[in-house]
Amino acid sequence: MTLRAGLIQLNSSDDPVANLPRTQGLIAQAVGQGAKFVATPEVTNVLSTSRSHQKSVLQHEEQDQTLATLRKQAADLGIWLLIGSIGLLTEDTDGRFANRSFLIDPQGKIKARYDKIHMFDVQVTESETYRESDGYRPGETATLAETPFGTVGMSICYDMRFPHLYRQLAQAGATILTAPAAFSPVTGAAHWHSLLRARAIENGCFVIAPAQTGDHDIRKGKPRSTYGHSLVVDPWGEVLLDAGAEEGAYVVDLDLGQVEVARKRVPSLSHDRPFRLDRG
Ligand SMILES: O=C(O)CNC(=O)[C@H](CS)NC(=O)CCC(=O)C(=O)O
């Protein structure tokens, strides 16, 4: 079985009202090119560097216009849609947001939701520091969802540096791993392709990683750039799609039988063994 997948590479601003029609247009383009499963990047609704701005524009899940509109679009087009993530207000007393990924079915229903587990609290260079956990409350639940084209294991961005998450997802049946991202340009150039190819190879899974790209239009807060290079990797580790730097809709055909082929050639997923740690 072949699945035509669409990846939406975005250059989101910090204005959710401006971002939404662009995103809808690119989803329609991918579907116009035959995509049956479309995936968008992390923070599809708002890419912001200001907590106070986020507080003023983010919504609770029930009120969020990006979620409601894209659910309707998925239903109208009859497609599966991974909304890489939406920044949302939560009920938390500490006021932290959720960085939440949604898998939407062709009826527009929410099939699965996943809150990013690992927070990007990292000093990337002397002048570039991220403190994701200041604004976001980390999730505590790994998430799988059944689709007609396989079992999808969900993750977001920085999660891709934690291989045991994907191991568990693959051991539990995942054949497609999603890793929507807003990667930093510095770490992206150094690590992006290697991390994603490794996750695909070691688990015998397709990896689908739609990304934010370019210099973002940030009205409130510090400027921000992201790495782009939305990627699709097959279970043997071959890069089937690298979107480069431009915003756009990209489609690629996945031969789903390749999961079984790769796992037959190198069955490492079934060779995990317990071991002790000896400090000598
Ligand atoms: O804060 C937002 O608006 C949305 N979230 C992000 O952009 C997150 C946290 S700052 N980015 C990453 O996880 C990049 C990881 C990365 O670049 C790496 O692992 O090297």
Q: What is the pLDDT of residues 125-180, one digit of tens each?
A: 999 999 999 999 999 999 999 999 999 999 999 999 999 999 999 999 999 999 99
Q: Which helix (H) or strand (E) holds 259?
A: helix 258-265
Q: Which of 68, 9, 6 is closest to 37 using CA atoms?
A: 6
Q: What is the pLDDT of residue 94?
A: 86
3 state DSSP class of 75? helix
CA of 120 to the centre of ligand 1 (A): 6
Q: What is the pLDDT of residue 16?
A: 98
Residues 108/81, Cβ–Cβ less than 8 Å? no
Q: What is the pLDDT of residue 93?
A: 83
Q: What fold, for 2-269? A: Nitrilase/N-carbamoyl-D-aminoacid amidohydrolase (3.60.110)
Q: What is the pLDDT of residue 52?
A: 94
3 state DSSP class of 106? coil
Write the single-letter amino acid at 49: T
Q: Mind listing the pLDDT tens digit for each residue in 39-73?
A: 999 999 999 999 999 999 999 999 999 999 999 99
Torsion angle of C-alpha atoms 7, 28, 41, 117, degrees rounded to 10: -100
ipTM over 0.85: yes
Ligand 1, pocket-test mutation among 122, 157, 217, most atoms within 8 A of CB: 157
Domain boundaries defined on the chain: 2-269
3 state DSSP class of 176? strand
Residues enclosing ligand 1, CB less than 6 A? 42-43, 47-48, 99, 120, 130, 132, 157-158, 161, 182-184, 187
CA of 257 to the centre of ligand 1 (A): 32
Please state, in angstroms and rounded to a whole number, the distance separating the CA atoms of residues 87 and 207: 23
pLDDT over 90 (residue 92): no
Q: Mind listing the pLDDT tens digit for each residue in 187-206?
A: 999 999 999 999 999 999 99
Please state, in angstroms and rounded to a whole number, the distance separating the CA atoms of residues 67 and 215: 24
